């Protein structure tokens, strides 16, 4: 299978059918060492997962969850 100049590949029909990958389906790539896995993503989880992954590890304040909750509640 070749990658196009746009970075695209065609997922073979047998694989699309077996895993229920329809046109417009969301997929993601997971890098595991020197291997890349293509994973079908359920639509209900896509947006939330992207937000969490983008924000993970970006906190600059060292507070516990309880301290943050107390601060936001004004207690």
* Phi, psi for residue 71 in degrees, rounded to 5: -65, -45
- List the structure tokens of 41: 């993503």
Residue 56: inside a domain: yes
The pLDDT of residue 53 is 82
- Domain-located, residue 7: no
Domain extent, residue 30, equals 13-73
Does residue 2 form part of some domain?
Answer: no
Average pLDDT score over residue span 44-73: 82
| Number of folded domains that form the chain | 1
The helix/strand/coil state of 3 is coil
DSSP state of 21: -
The whole-number pLDDT of residue 43 equals: 67
Residue 56 has pLDDT above 70, yes or no: yes
Q: For residue 53, give the 3-state DSSP assignment.
A: helix
Percent of the chain with pLDDT strictly greater than 90: 39
Does 5 reside within a domain?
no
Whole-angstrom CA distances from 74 to 11, 28, 69 are 53, 40, 8
Token pair of 59 as six digits: 């906190």
Band of the pLDDT at 11, cuts 50, 70, 90?
Answer: very high
4 within a domain of the structure (yes/no): no
């Amino acid at each position: 299978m070749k990658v196009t100049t746009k970075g695209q590949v065609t997922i073979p029909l047998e694989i699309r059918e077996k895993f229920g990958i329809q046109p417009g389906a969301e997929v993601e790539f997971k890098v595991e060492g020197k291997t890349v896995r293509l994973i079908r993503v359920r639509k209900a989880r896509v947006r939330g997962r992207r937000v969490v992954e983008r924000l993970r590890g970006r906190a600059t304040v060292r507070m516990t969850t309880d301290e943050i909750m107390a601060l936001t509640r004004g207690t």
